[in-house]
């Protein structure tokens, strides 16, 4: 039988990409991303004894990670200056390294950092292909409201990208 610690480590290994993506969306500098990644991991570890399995571990982790990132951003009050790229590039993830795509993806993450905390969360859910219902459940709002807020967040991001192209 696995210990709670080993079970936690196995689950974190499986889902660490989620934490990495959130850290990258909320922080522009590597050291800040590393700090946020560590803070999210710590908060998940602290909350793990309360995980009852009533939802998927990844669903539970998303909520803690996004809430931690929002709080971290507010307390650190860090801002970055952003460049741009086409919104669709952020949805493309490849297994092999492609320098041009990596640069576009990096610019996209920087553009996302200009959004407010809640809009970042909606963009994250969009990029993770969450349905309107799943987003609503995660955010504690109605499905219709989730769709409206998602569209507004995407439009804000497109506006940022278009203004940086000039």
Per residue in 36-79, pLDDT (tens digit) is 999 999 999 999 988 888 888 888 898 889 888 888 876 665 43
User: How far is residue 105's CA from residue 68's CA, in Å, rounded to a whole number?
Assistant: 23
Residue range 1-79 forms a domain whose CATH class is mainly alpha
pTM, to two decimals? 0.56
Domain boundaries, the chain: 1-79, 83-166
> What's the CATH code, domain 83-166?
1.10.10
Model confidence pLDDT, tens digit, residues 3-13:
888 888 999 99
Mean pLDDT over the full length of the chain: 79
On the question of pLDDT at 82 being above 60, the answer is no
- Give me the pLDDT at residue 75, please: 67
């Amino acid at each position: 039988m696995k210990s709670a610690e080993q079970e936690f480590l196995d689950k974190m290994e499986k889902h660490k990409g989620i934490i990495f993506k959130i850290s990258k969306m909320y922080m522009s500098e590597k050291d800040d991303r590393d700090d946020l990644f560590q803070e999210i991991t710590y908060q998940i570890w602290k909350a793990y004894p309360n995980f009852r399995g009533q939802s998927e571990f990844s669903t539970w982790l998303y909520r803690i990670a996004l809430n931690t990132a929002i709080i971290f951003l507010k307390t650190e009050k860090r801002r970055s200056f952003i460049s741009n790229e086409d919104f669709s590039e952020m949805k493309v993830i490849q297994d092999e390294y492609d320098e041009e795509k990596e640069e576009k993806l990096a610019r996209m993450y920087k553009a996302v950092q200009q959004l407010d905390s809640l809009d970042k969360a909606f963009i994250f859910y969009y990029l993770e292909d969450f349905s309107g219902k799943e987003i609503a459940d995660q955010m504690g709002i109605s499905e219709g409201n989730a769709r409206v807020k998602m569209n507004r967040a995407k439009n804000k991001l497109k506006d940022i990208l278009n203004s940086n192209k000039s």
